[in-house]
Each structure stands twice: as structure tokens, then as C-alpha cells.
């Protein structure tokens, strides 16, 4: 008898976040689910891993009892590592991360704990997807995204992914009837123009809040930012080989013998 696909679910907003509950709900219609997620919010952690502290795992009681869930004291990348090596009895067929409360389009993919969990799975050779909704509210409505998330996950399970590639999926914050579909696209050239709000404590010591404005410099109509602005779900294939292959030829013309 064929086993159902084993799907590992994780996130960076923490195991109690509404987004991960929606992702679990969808994945349960596709396969067997195990959740390993941070015990507290880990947004903006990037690909951090825990090296100078111990990691703790706690099994969480699930009322339905139809899947196992574990909270982890570490980062999203830690969750994937420890799930694969210590918790699961076989390698997952798919790893999904999210649904993140907020955008991970354009340069945000670099800072994202959500995407780092997906990338960690990709490094292990496991097909993986990061999902994000463009709504930072804890009470965000994820219902419009459910059928699209299922479609994308089923395609990955059926077709597989090219080695070294994971998917970064962002969903516009609109009603389901207004979503135009899924658009495969590239990462936009857009980033944060940062500022620091400098203040003083009652004791007179300076402290800072990071603020800023997200600016899209990219006018292309094939980008994730364009897709999202036009009510498409953006699907960007992301690679974790950071080699700038196009620069190798130029660097080989340099003289290193002077």
C-alpha cells in the first residue's frame, strides 16, 4: 500500500500563529503532517542557527490527535534540522513553511526566517516551499489562499523541483474573487531605505528603533512586486547557490600577480 506523502510544516511566526494552523489544515488534505515550529516568533532571523545554546523540543497536545506537533526553542532553520535528524522516522516528501504574516517578496527573502526554513530543507535535497500573505495582522484572513496553496503543493509533490531550487510564494491581501491566479516571476529589484529612530531612556542612554520605507526600483512586469500589486500570487524559484556565475569570467581577467 502506498504511503501518503509525509509533509513537514514549520514557520517563523511561532507554533501558535494562525498562519501555520491554516497551512496544517491544507496539508492534511494532501498527506501526513508533522509540525516542528519555533516556540516563539523568529521573524527576520534569516538563516540563523543555534550554536552557543542548547535546543529544547516539547511535544504539543493536539485536540484532533491526527498529527504530531513539536515546539522548538531554536530558529526556523533549527526546526528543520532537528525535525529531519531527530523527530521524523523518515525523510519528508515535502517541507512547507508559513503561512507567514507579512510579505517575503523581493529583498525580504534574504531576511526571512520563513524562507530560511524552506531553504534549509532544499539544502537537504527535500522539495520545499515558503508561503507568505501580505498581511502583518495576527488576525489575518488566510481563507482566500487555501486552494492556491494546495494547488502549488500538489504540483511540487507530483512534478518535483530542480535540484537546488525552492519556491517563494507570496499572496496578495485581497478577497479570493479578486485573486487573478498564480504568476511565475522573478525577484524584483526592491529594498528598504532604512532609518533609525533615535530616542533616549529615562536614564539618558541612547537607543534606536529600525524604521524605513520599502522602495521598488524595478519597473518590469515579470517581477513578484508587479504580480502582487496586480492581485496575482507570485511564485519565484529561489536558489541557494549564491555564486554570481556571470561575474566569474570578468574576475578571471584580473591580475593577482602584482
pLDDT in tens, the chain (258 residues): 468 999 999 999 999 999 999 999 999 999 999 999 998 877 777 788 888 889 999 999 887 778 999 999 999 999 999 999 999 999 999 999 999 999 999 888 888 999 999 999 999 999 999 999 999 998 999 999 999 999 999 999 999 999 999 999 999 999 999 999 999 999 998 877 778 888 999 998 998 887 777 777 888 899 999 999 999 999 999 999 999 999 999 999 999 987
User: Are 35 and 68 within 8 A, CB to CB?
Assistant: yes
| Closest C-alpha to 38, from 70, 86, 81 | 70
How far apart (Å, rounded) are the C-alpha atoms in residues 142 and 179?
13
| Closest C-alpha to 104, from 76, 71, 69, 126 | 76
The answer to whether position 212 is within a domain reads no
How far apart (Å, rounded) are the C-alpha atoms in residues 224 and 170?
8
Q: Return the pLDDT at 216.
A: 79
How far apart (Å, rounded) are the C-alpha atoms in residues 178 and 188?
22
Q: Return the pLDDT at 218.
A: 81
* Cis peptide upstream of residue 99 (ω within 30 degrees of 0): yes
Tell me the residue range of the domain where 160 lies.
Answer: 6-194+220-251
pLDDT in tens, 39-49: 887 777 778 88
How many domains does the chain fold into? Answer: 1
The answer to whether position 129 is within a domain reads yes
The answer to whether position 175 is within a domain reads yes
The answer to whether position 205 is within a domain reads no
User: Are 196 and 158 within 8 A, CB to CB?
Assistant: no
- CB-facing half-sphere around the CA of 94: CA atoms within 13 A: 28
Q: Return the pLDDT at 193.
A: 77
pLDDT in tens, 145-175: 999 999 999 999 999 999 999 999 999 999 9
128-133 and 165-171 strand pairing: parallel
CA end-to-end span of the chain: 67
The answer to whether position 159 is within a domain reads yes
Residue 186, exposed/middle/buried by CB under 10 A (0-12, 13-18, 19+)?
Answer: middle
Q: What is the CATH number of the domain that holds 141?
A: 3.40.1210.10
- For the record, the C-alpha cell of 81 comes out as 534540522
The answer to whether position 113 is within a domain reads yes
Amino acid at each position: 500500500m502506498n504511503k501518503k506523502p509525509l509533509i513537514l510544516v514549520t514557520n517563523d511566526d511561532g507554533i501558535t500563529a494562525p498562519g501555520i494552523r491554516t497551512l496544517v489544515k491544507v496539508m492534511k488534505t494532501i498527506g501526513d503532517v508533522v509540525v516542528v515550529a519555533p516556540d516563539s516568533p523568529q521573524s527576520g532571523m534569516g538563516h540563523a542557527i543555534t550554536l552557543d545554546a542548547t535546543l529544547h523540543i516539547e511535544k504539543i497536545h493536539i485536540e484532533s490527535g491526527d498529527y504530531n506537533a513539536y515546539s522548538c526553542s531554536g530558529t526556523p532553520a533549527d526546526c528543520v534540522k532537528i525535525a529531519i535528524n531527530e523527530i521524523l522516522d523518515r525523510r519528508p516528501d515535502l517541507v512547507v513553511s508559513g503561512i507567514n504574516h507579512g510579505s517575503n517578496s523581493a529583498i525580504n527573502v534574504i531576511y526571512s526566517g520563513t524562507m530560511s526554513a524552506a531553504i534549509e530543507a532544499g539544502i537537504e535535497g527535500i522539495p520545499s516551499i515558503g508561503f507568505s500573505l501580505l498581511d502583518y495582522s495576527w488576525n489575518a484572513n488566510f481563507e482566500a489562499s487555501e486552494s492556491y496553496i494546495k494547488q502549488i503543493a500538489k504540483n511540487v509533490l507530483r512534478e518535483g523541483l530542480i535540484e537546488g531550487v525552492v519556491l517563494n510564494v507570496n499572496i496578495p491581501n485581497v478577497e479570493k474573487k479578486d485573486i487573478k491566479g498564480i504568476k511565475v516571476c522573478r525577484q524584483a529589484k526592491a529594498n528598504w531605505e532604512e532609518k533609525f529612530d533615535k530616542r533616549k531612556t529615562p536614564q539618558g542612554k541612547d537607543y534606536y528603533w529600525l524604521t524605513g520605507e520599502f522602495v521598488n526600483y524595478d519597473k518590469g512586469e515579470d517581477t513578484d512586486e508587479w504580480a502582487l500589486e496586480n492581485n496575482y500570487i507570485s511564485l519565484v524559484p529561489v536558489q541557494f547557490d549564491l555564486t554570481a556565475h556571470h561575474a566569474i569570467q570578468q574576475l578571471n581577467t584580473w591580475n593577482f600577480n602584482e
